[in-house]
Structure 1
Amino acid sequence: MPNGKRAIGTKWVYRNKKDEIGVVVRNKARLVALGYRQEEWIDDDEVYAPIARIEAIEIFLAFASYMGFIVYQMDVKSAFMYGTIDEEVYVSQPPSFVDPNHPNKVYKVVKALYGLHQAHRAWYATLSTFLEQSGYRRGTIDKTLFIKKDKNDIMLVQVYVDDIIFGSTKKSWCDEFEALMISNEFHGRTHLLSWITSQIERRCTLIETHKPLIKDEETADVDVHLYRLQVTPKTLHLKVMKRIFSKYGGANLDKKSTIGGCQFLGHRLISWQCKKQTIMATSTTKAEYVVVANCYRHVLWIQIQMLDYGFNFMNTRIYIDNESTICIVKNPVFHSKTKSIEIRHHFIMDAYEKQLIQVSKIHTNNSVADLLTKAFDNSRFQFLVVTIGMINS
């Protein structure tokens, strides 16, 4: 061991790999570094590595569906061990594999080990450098997206840690990519990534539309390991746990409204939100305005993300079921309506003035986002389910 240095311990991690019916088919052992013993700026420098957002993967799949090309998935075996680390790091000899002639010697780490803080970053740096040298362009916004274009053909590679999904308008490009990865010793298994688009089961998942959720001191407590979103959860709360419903001031526990929104790429639903607002809305207009501002944050990210794909989707249309909210977005002089709204929500006005978005009225009965926030009777529930099915068909 060099003077002034110390070794990081190692351990074995064992795992039984099972098949789809639960039968053990392989016993796996992996040597792992005890990363918790690393000291920042001594054993590691920068450890951050980008990771694909779930919305980015949804956009990828929506785009592949629209373009009609096949998507493949590749999982790279022992991916972190391909990354080369820059820091001077030493690890102790593996337990039960200590050299009896040199028990005090250590290993100097050249390739990353699982457990090291910088392993993820080292793998990403190695893979991204390799792909860029192979003719792929890294996304400007999404650093885990790699693109190759030639006239009307496009090849997309999305990286999520050690899983890679890829697809192209040219099947030969997919074959070339797989061969390229193998030739660089990124050994992995490639699968055809298929997903089933099935009709939403037309069954009743209804709830009483006029019975609000309230504090229930009389009923029995619920096991907090089953449900824990408040201090003393009751049976009533457990029953409606999966059925979030609210309206302006409709959450009787604290009178906060619920944000509900969904974003489509063409006719394909790619992201949605259902979250209680952090503010106390003093009117339905304010509650709706905050919802629209939150929705535009997601739209803005999608707009910028699609620039990497080569598409400009500025002037996106946002549907709102509140006339007063539309008036405020278009004309901010309604001070009586806006004086209590925090400034951070007003950036949507600037987006409208720059023609980054349009705002249009939609009848409440046709708002599919209401499925995320309200309870329905059977007829309207079935209508909205059919509407979403028509949009995504």
Structure 2
Amino acid sequence: MTSFFGATKDILCEEFVAAMQGEFEMSMMRELSFFIELQVKQSKDEIFLSQSKYCKEILKKFEMESCKEASTPMPSCCYMDNDVAGKEVDQTKYRGFIGSLLYLIASKLDIMFVVCLCARFQANPKESHLKAAKRILKYLKGTTNVGLWYPSHSPIHLIGYSDSNFAGCKLVQKSTSGTSSWIKSYSWHSKKQACVALSTA
């Protein structure tokens, strides 16, 4: 089994290694640089996580290497529904799109919402759903090298946002609440409300 760990000071890593080696049979490898499609670049002052290699592999797999780039993962006016009258597409191919994209959200939080939205339609995907999934790949084409950057000396500030739309889900007319916060790392949450909204109060 392979595991990795980190600490803010070298002495903490050394203490952890000594404690673990006292309990388990283990050997130290080297500084982490690649772990399950996650690229890690470390220096004295920063850590950068990305999945650029995996992004390029996905684009090649779905024959989107030469596609045009998109500035956002989905249009601001995009409302997806079951599209009952829409043309059906290959379910296996669509699920392959979604599965590949879900693995990317470890380092690309900006696509999380739209990938999870597209994932709702895996049971009966239509052409409009596949088009939305391809739009995400077009966005990835232009942001292949974007990842998570953690500078060691950044100040600690809690930043938070919260919002809710009004009956934004076309399928069940429910509102969606969302929150995001940042304190050295990013936390994101979005959920459909349990009841149907009747007013904005």
TM-score (norm 1): 0.25
Which one has more relative contact order, counting CA pairs under 8 Å at least 6 apart?
Answer: 2
TM-score (norm 2): 0.44
